[in-house]
Amino acid sequence: MKETTEYKGPKPRLNGFLSNHESPEKVVSITTEPDTIYIEEARDANRLNFDFTIKGLTDRKLVINFIKAGVYDEAENLITYRHLNHNGVGTPGIHTIGRYEIEGRETLDVHNPFHSFPKTMPLCKLRYTFTFIDPETKKEYYYGNTIIEPTVYRQKVRLTIPVKGMTTILDGHDFYSHHRRFSMSLVRKATNNAFQSNFSRYAVDFTVLGRDGNTRTMDPTEYSSNYDFHFTDVTRFYTHEADVHAPADGEIVAIVDHLDDHYSTLFDMDEAIQEERVADIAGNRVVIKHNESEFSHLFHLLKDSVKASVGDAVSRNQIIAKIGFSGAATTYSHLHYQLMDGEAFLKDNPLPCQFSDVSLLQGKEKIRFDRTSIDTGDIILQE
């Protein structure tokens, strides 16, 4: 039981450690994306899914020496803080962000390293501070006022899991997932700015589990050679040709149904960029408009399997297509799902979402949630 009483003593500030000091000489610019930063209400924590873009403004090499985050309430009282730097033996905390060196006037993407906080903690305002050091002169440069004021997204549509039976989220949008690890400055440059947002920021990949509890049919002799994604026939996945159900009532506003499934050849991204068809990474797909600001996007469908037309009204749980292997479906058969604020996934904004009437399997326990977010590693039983 938690007991709360009013505290009237001195307020913690940590002004020296969490200083808002800014160096007069500007050697980098720091921006964040997306424009609106949401608090994702996960089962175990509140999560912040956003990125920093750091651009070098000089020809000198710089090293990120410190990243800190102070968390404040509505009255700007300090609640808690996080930090990482070069302290440690072998692999200091700064290594977790990947690259931390800026070579002259290049651009560096940094995924927010302080992504999870207790659900009971208010996240009204976060102030991020960066320290950069010139490795030659040892001079330090301070940036103490990158302010984040996140907001909770209030979802309107009540979503149902679009794949029935036992499924798992083989890859979701946790901090280490491929959906999350989009360096947008690199992606925009590579695609001639066709990508305007990281559409998969809150995406999940549904993969069906068979009665044997596996993702695909396997002979025991294959176990030693099937670590990771070493297999040759994606059609052996139980997900292959599984039914896709409408996750909620709505109107079909976009369909692609003619693209080949990539059973024998990989999706050629370079060719897609040259031919200005970057959107084909999604493969065959359906977009359902639930209301003026919430659209379900369902990707990697089987060629010629869509059972609806643009303009059709669909009902929750209605079968609308089958799962295939079209587009850049990586290495395993799955249904890619995301909720967005529009139908154009390359430019509109992704939204955190929760599903209703969800049963999660945790060992011998089946736990039902009236409404919950789902992510990597969840095992779901949907009747």
Alpha carbon of 90 to those of 12, 14, 94, 95, 175: distances in Å? 33, 29, 11, 10, 22
Note the CATH number of domain 165-382: 2.70.70.10
Determine the average pLDDT of the residues in 184-191.
92
Cβ atoms of 169 and 382 within 8 Å: the answer is no
The pLDDT tens digits of the residues spanning 326-358 come to 999 888 899 999 999 999 999 999 999 999 999
Range 201-230 burial, b when 16+ CB lie within 10 A, else e: bbbbbbbbbeeeeebbeeeeeeeeeeeeee
177 pLDDT more than 70: yes
d(CA 348, CA 164): 28
211 pLDDT more than 90: yes
d(CA 285, CA 326): 9
- Residue 106 phi, psi dihedral angles, 5° rounding: -90, 175
Give me the pLDDT at residue 342, please.
97
* Domains 28-152 and 165-382 equal at CATH topology level: no
Determine the average pLDDT of the residues in 155-179.
97
224 pLDDT more than 80: no
The pLDDT tens digits of the residues spanning 271-291 come to 999 999 999 999 999 999 999
pTM: 0.94
Determine the average pLDDT of the residues in 213-217.
90
226 pLDDT more than 80: no
231 pLDDT more than 80: no
By DSSP bridging, strand 38-41 and strand 151-152 are parallel
d(CA 299, CA 308): 15
The pLDDT tens digits of the residues spanning 144-164 come to 999 999 999 999 999 999 999
Determine the average pLDDT of the residues in 242-254.
98
Give me the pLDDT at residue 1, please.
64
Place of tokens 């003593």: 9
**Cβ neighbours of residue 199 under 8 Å, at least 6 residues apart?**
297, 338, 340, 345, 346, 348, 350
Give me the pLDDT at residue 360, please.
97
Could you tell me what percent of the chain has a pLDDT over 70?
99
Cβ atoms of 315 and 252 within 8 Å: the answer is no
Q: Residue 88 is encoded by which pair of tokens?
A: 């440690």
The pLDDT tens digits of the residues spanning 297-332 come to 999 999 999 999 999 999 999 999 999 999 998 888
The pLDDT tens digits of the residues spanning 74-117 come to 999 999 999 999 998 889 999 999 999 999 999 999 999 999 99
> Is the sign of the CA dihedral 96, 97, 98, 104 positive or negative?
negative
| Domain spans of the chain, in order of start | 28-152, 165-382
Place of tokens 């945790």: 362
| Residues belonging to the chain | 383
Give me the pLDDT at residue 111, please.
97
Give me the pLDDT at residue 259, please.
96
What CATH architecture applies to the domain 28-152? Sandwich (2.60)
59 pLDDT more than 90: yes
